[in-house]
Amino acid sequence: MKKIAILGSTGSIGSSLLNIIKKDKEKFKIELISANKNYRKIIKQAKFFNVKKLIITDKNSFLRAKIILKDSNFDIYNDFNSFKKIFSNKKLDYAMSAITGFEGLKPTLKIIKFTKVIAIANKESIICGWNLIKKNLKKFKTEFIPVDSEHFSIWSLINKEKYNDFDKIYLTASGGPFLKTPLRKFKAITPRKALMHPNWSMGKKISIDSATMMNKVFEIIEAKKIFNIQYSQLKILIHPQSYLHAIVKLNNGLTKLLIHDTNMTIPIFNSLYNNEKKKFNQKNLT
């Protein structure tokens, strides 16, 4: 059985990953899940997947969870300094880092030591701390897989290429919910409208960042850091349908493209089953 951990199990990425695992439960043993405030959801997840170790970082939520589970055999922790105790001498096969915002950096850095593979869906960690992440990846010989659809696509296209063997990388952008909105109507924009992404079902923060196109700026910075290239080698292509996620133009004249449906489950699924011949059945994951 694959031993895994999910940092941020109650968010959209973590929930999608658990939904994938639910269809193949006999192959996985979840050693740890974590949340910030959503103690009711993480308790439900822990019971369903028989996860004995939980981290709940919000103090009030942690105390409430402790009361609910006081007569059970679940171990609940309030911070990420417990990794050594939780994992002991065990090396995880896979860890997902899906905590939103800068708060995800510290646990990401800490868990690299305890896993063979880390999938990172937290762009703030990469933008702010890539040098630290890269250092730990090398030190503990941990494989890294980016989960953002664009960066996963680039990684997939050039995984067997040398990182300096291409001319340009194109990241695609849908343009968000306001692509065709005239400037004169921008005063009528509301947060509710900004959350209504035309193609993707995402968390609130990423949806707002996508509506303002700030998310694409973050992704450009991510790509520069992950793939160690110059900004001049990165371009943004507006593609409203969002089926095309990345284009890599190689130095040998060839151009590679990666296309998949507008479903974040696909890069999550492929990060989990990396190098395994596992058929993706979208009907079974909805």
CA dihedral 77, 78, 83, 86 (to 10 degrees): 0
Instruction: Return the half-sphere exposure (C-beta side, CA atoms, 13 A cut-off) of residue 135.
Output: 6
Whole-angstrom distance, CA of residue 117 vs CA of residue 142 = 5
Whole-angstrom distance, CA of residue 106 vs CA of residue 82 = 13
Q: What does the pLDDT look like over 186-218, one tens digit per residue?
A: 999 999 998 988 887 777 888 888 888 888 899
Indicate whether 111 pLDDT > 60: yes
φ/ψ of residue 39, rounded to 5 = -70, -30
Please, which pLDDT band fits residue 22 given cuts at 50, 70 and 90? very high
C-beta neighbour count of 3 within 10 angstroms: 19
Residue 124 has which token pair?
A: 């703030």
Per-residue model confidence (pLDDT) at position 136: 97
The residue assigned the tokens 């995880």 is 92
Residue 102 has which token pair?
A: 């800068």
Q: Under CATH, what is the fold of the domain 2-147?
A: Rossmann fold (3.40.50)
Q: What value does the mean pLDDT take over residues 50-63? A: 97
Whole-angstrom distance, CA of residue 135 vs CA of residue 143 = 12
CATH 3.40.50.720 placement within the chain: 2-147
Per-residue model confidence (pLDDT) at position 285: 60
DSSP label at residue 185: G
34: helix, strand or coil: strand
Mean pLDDT of all residues belonging to the chain: 91
Q: What does the pLDDT look like over 57-92, one tens digit per residue?
A: 999 999 999 999 988 899 999 999 999 889 977 799
Decide: 116 and 94 in contact? Cβ < 8 Å: yes
Per-residue model confidence (pLDDT) at position 284: 53
